[in-house]
């Protein structure tokens, strides 16, 4: 077998990692190496961009697999054991060296490390933990680390991974349990949920109020997961219902939605075409409504229905509830403002702060939000009512003349 050089390995294993979307690096503890100790920082910076944090920061991560060899035969995965894809495997020292060298050259801010399953879950998870252990303890690396956990691994290895990593994630893979059993028979839904539960308990036990001893950090940026969209027949409502349940049960920081992408030599059990990318975008918009805007899944879409691709979920809800509008920006509470199309969390907070000082006009609202045109039909402001907009833009209901036919 040909021996691959490091550059070739990097090309193969970074490309193999591109299908995992759950790599945002927000919410972790701030660390730095000022004072001459340690290497790196988990603070904001710029570099080669791989993800954006919710606050808009550009995050650069070395996003790789430890190996794309895998003993599993998941039908939707390009790295499955029956796939004919080129294979490669990093050593522990190679991953550590790449991370440190790339960081010192200002290419990256941290590491996102996943892996195919080699030999067993424990064997693979132990190798990934050794990478994080070497970075943190041997090299005092203070940058960001995200580890993709192997749910079949022992609880002790999963706990050790969370002690070294800022964020951990376990992919739930598909919205339906029966779909996972059909397309990825080696994976166990109960094991995935059990591992998620262990991470949640570990995080909560170290942040319990009244705890006297200072516990070591345990996945301070929390845990996330990912679902593939379009690989089975699950509707958007069913996908969001699964996401809503995961947020509630395991206190996830984020559920990622990844549109299914057809792979070479795919199984006949998979669709031939990927779903519209706009569908993935609408799911993210709906997920944002669940997390930050106080919506429930049932308000957004029925469990057996799909999201409207023509309009965003918030606007679609407003059009179904026209009796709730227009909203007076000078009187409405925060919850009602958050449900108004065109107003985001930040713009609502700015409106609440500014209206303590003055009565708001439409021009004030437009300066405070991005969706200026979208918000006009849904709000009342000092000197503004959407009735004026309706009168000004109402088309003349006059039919064009046409010649009548005798036949």
pTM above 0.75, yes or no: yes
Domain boundary assignment for the chain: 6-219, 328-393
In sequence order, what are the beta bridge partners of 205? none
Confidence (pLDDT) at 284? 96
Confidence (pLDDT) at 98? 94
| Percent of the chain residues topping a pLDDT of 90 | 69
CA distances from 229 to 111, 235, 271, 299 (A): 26, 9, 11, 21
Average pLDDT of the residues in 203-212? 73
Confidence (pLDDT) at 273? 85
Alpha carbon distance 153, 121 (integer Å): 5
Consecutive H or E run containing 132: helix 121-133
| Tokens at 284, concatenated | 């993210």
Residue 59 predicted with pLDDT over 90:
no
Rounded to 10 deg, the angle between the 236-250 and 277-292 helix axes is: 40
Confidence (pLDDT) at 387? 76
Computed over every residue of the chain, the mean pLDDT equals 86
Spell out the alpha helix ranges (H) of 3-42.
Answer: 6-16
Whether the CB-CB separation of 199 and 246 falls below 8 Å is answered with no
Rounded to 10 deg, the angle between the 236-250 and 189-206 helix axes is: 40
Rg (CA), the chain: 25
Residue 28 predicted with pLDDT over 90:
no
Sign of CA dihedral 231, 232, 235, 237: negative
Top mean-pLDDT range of 12-21, 117-126, 363-372 = 117-126
Q: What tens digit of pLDDT does each residue of 239-266 get?
A: 999 999 999 999 999 999 999 988 777 7
Average pLDDT of the residues in 35-57? 47
Alpha carbon distance 130, 139 (integer Å): 12
| Tokens at 20, concatenated | 């995992």
Whether the CB-CB separation of 107 and 140 falls below 8 Å is answered with no
């Amino acid at each position: 077998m040909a021996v691959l050089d490091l550059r070739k390995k990097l090309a193969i294993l970074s490309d193999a990692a591109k299908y995992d979307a759950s790599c945002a690096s927000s919410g972790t503890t701030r660390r730095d190496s000022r004072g001459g100790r340690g290497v790196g920082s988990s603070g904001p910076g710029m570099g080669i961009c791989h993800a954006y944090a919710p606050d808009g920061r550009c995050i650069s991560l070395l996003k790789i697999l430890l190996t794309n060899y895998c003993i599993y035969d998941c039908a939707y995965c390009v790295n499955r054991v029956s796939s004919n894809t080129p294979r490669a495997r990093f050593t522990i020292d190679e991953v550590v060296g790449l991370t440190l060298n790339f960081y010192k050259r200002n290419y990256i801010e941290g590491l996102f490390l996943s892996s195919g399953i080699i030999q067993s879950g424990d064997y693979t998870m132990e190798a990934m933990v050794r990478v994080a252990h070497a970075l943190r303890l041997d090299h005092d690396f203070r940058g960001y680390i995200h580890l993709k956990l192997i749910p079949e691994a022992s609880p002790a290895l999963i706990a050790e991974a969370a002690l070294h990593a800022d964020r951990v994630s376990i992919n739930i893979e598909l919205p339906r349990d029966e779909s996972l059993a059909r397309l990825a028979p080696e994976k166990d839904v109960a094991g995935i949920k059990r591992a998620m539960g262990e991470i949640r308990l570990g995080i909560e036990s170290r942040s319990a109020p009244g705890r006297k001893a200072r516990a070591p950090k345990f996945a301070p940026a929390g845990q996330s997961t990912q679902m593939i969209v379009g690989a089975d027949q699950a509707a958007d409502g069913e996908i969001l219902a699964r996401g809503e349940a995961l947020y509630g049960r395991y206190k996830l920081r984020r559920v990622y939605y990844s549109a299914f992408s057809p792979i070479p030599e795919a199984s006949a059990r998979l669709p031939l075409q990927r779903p519209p990318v706009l569908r993935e975008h609408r799911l993210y918009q709906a997920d944002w409504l669940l997390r930050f805007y106080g919506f429930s899944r049932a308000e957004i879409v029925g469990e057996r229905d799909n999201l409207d691709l023509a309009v965003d979920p918030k606007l679609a809800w407003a059009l179904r509830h026209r009796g709730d509008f227009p909203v007076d920006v000078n009187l409405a509470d925060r919850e009602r403002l958050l449900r108004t199309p065109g107003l985001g969390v930040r713009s609502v907070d700015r409106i609440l702060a500014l209206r303590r000082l003055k009565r708001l006009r439409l021009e004030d609202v437009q300066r405070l939000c991005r969706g200026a045109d979208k918000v006009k039909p849904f709000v009342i402001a000092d000197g503004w009512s959407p009735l004026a907009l309706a009168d000004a833009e109402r088309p003349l209901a006059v039919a064009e003349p046409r010649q009548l036919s005798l036949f």
